Structure 1
């Protein structure tokens, strides 16, 4: 079952989404050589608390309790990196994933941030991953199918020139998800087209999905470290992760976790974003 939201409920999710946007903005501005991933976690925690929200990361996930309010995944860590004493170095790439709950409604988003000056292929990696996310978001229109989103994400990545070192590996097994009264809900959103999977459910107004491509400079394969959380590439190549929570509306996509609702990025793709329900 896919949870369908009313316009009033989408407006409530927009509030949670803006808290996530504020937390990620504060983290992005703090990223620098010498800053620890725990420092970033503390910054996000303060923003979430200051807005009267709670973290949806600090919850029971299938018997495991995540120990932070952000996932801080550095270099070859794809997702679910645990914040702690690791200190960022010049040239690193960190993916920061954050979520918040306001009045029972969830928001979830992620960004990749270069630490100082990074190698050309690392900059390309982040840019391609972000671009594929927006390609997928642009397909969040009523009467499209879930497979249209997956196809757009994969298609964008496959069309990009290969980086100076490496290739584009679309992480297998991980992807986006429905979101609303819980952080992870049906349906699962693959970042590639899987044979035999079908077109998936129709995207009707009130559908809300977290669109989150994960791309590496090498293999699509991953493994989980002994901490039971951190997902790394099996070949050690670096990865990037970008994510937004997006609602399908009668007027078009509404990016709940973007300050402008996705207007600028979608306009560049010839798509009109829905009006912001909060004005």
Structure 2
């Protein structure tokens, strides 16, 4: 895509529906996360629910990705491929990254779910990453810039001793899963593209306990932390409005 799309009222209405479906399915997936459950079972549940709700998978077949759900565990940052061999264990951090297409428009969201009882350190990472997303969203006001979003995320994360992943970013979203602009989780205040009403952005902090460096495994998808320390990931699809940011992938959006 060569330029940033400003969504019309009709397009925004469809993106609200896409976001609602994403949220409802993620809610069901989160309930299903438990020790002994395989990531393949979570993916199968997501696919069943997608079609029940009249949508289509956003990820399956995207550049060859083989599943509806990106399922990443512990030191896996994102793009984990579901497998019948991967059973969740007590204390894991399960990252559910998920999207749908509804009547030609995409919704995209992610959340990190503790499996059973996790360590205080793991829970602190989850809490910090979730709040970093909130900080980024709070910066998504008309007149601010892309750099303000990244700075809000980065400054919150690094003040707590964590690092933000730089190799993967948030993105515009609409008729395509990934549109312009890129939305890094780091940046300088007042830098980058100005935020305008009608822009829809997927903002997604990926936060590591240790170094920000990641590597992609031989499956060409799964990204892991190079030091094997834990990573957490949260994401929302957000509409820029004159009245402030509207989260499209949250219950009761608006």
**Alignment TM-score > 0.5, same fold:** yes
CA RMSD of aligned residues (A): 1.3
Which of 13, 16, 19 is the matching residue for 1:14?
Answer: 16
When the two structures are superposed, what TM-score results if normalisation uses the length of structure 1? Answer: 0.88
Measure, in 2, the Cα distance between the counterparts of 1:142 and 1:193. 18
Measure, in 2, the Cα distance between the counterparts of 1:189 and 1:173. 12
Instruction: Please state how far the C-alpha of 1:13 moved relative to its aligned partner.
Output: 0.2
Q: Is the 8 A contact 2:61 2:67 kept in 1?
A: no
When the two structures are superposed, what TM-score results if normalisation uses the length of structure 2? Answer: 0.96
User: Counterpart in 1 of 2:113?
Assistant: 113
User: Counterpart in 2 of 1:69?
Assistant: 68
Does 1:182 find its partner at 2:206?
no
Structure 1 runs of 4+ aligned residues shifted over 6 Å read none
Which of 190, 210, 213 is the matching residue for 1:218?
Answer: 210
Q: Cα deviations across residues 158-185 of structure 1 (Å, max 9, x unaligned)? A: 233xxxxxx4121121110000010011
Measure, in 1, the Cα distance between the counterparts of 2:68 and 2:82. 9
Partner-residue secondary structure (3-state), 1:228: coil
Measure, in 2, the Cα distance between the counterparts of 1:81 and 1:132. 22
Instruction: Please state how far the C-alpha of 1:194 moved relative to its aligned partner.
Output: 6.2
- How many residue pairs end up in the alignment? 251
Q: Which runs of 5+ in 2 are unaligned?
A: none
Q: Cα deviations across residues 41-77 of structure 1 (Å, max 9, x unaligned)? A: 111111111011001101332xxx1111010000000
Q: Is the 8 A contact 2:157 2:163 kept in 1?
A: no
Does 1:231 find its partner at 2:223?
yes
User: Counterpart in 1 of 2:164?
Assistant: 170
Q: Is the 8 A contact 1:219 1:235 kept in 2?
A: yes
Partner-residue secondary structure (3-state), 2:10: helix
User: Counterpart in 1 of 2:158?
Assistant: 158
Q: Cα deviations across residues 86-117 of structure 1 (Å, max 9, x unaligned)? A: 00000000100000001100000000000000
1:232-271 correspondence runs (5 A):
232-261=224-253
Instruction: Please state how far the C-alpha of 1:9 moved relative to its aligned partner.
Output: 1.1
Measure, in 1, the Cα distance between the counterparts of 2:159 and 2:225. 22
Q: Is the 8 A contact 2:133 2:234 kept in 1?
A: yes
Measure, in 2, the Cα distance between the counterparts of 1:40 and 1:112. 14
Instruction: Please state how far the C-alpha of 1:207 moved relative to its aligned partner.
Output: 0.5
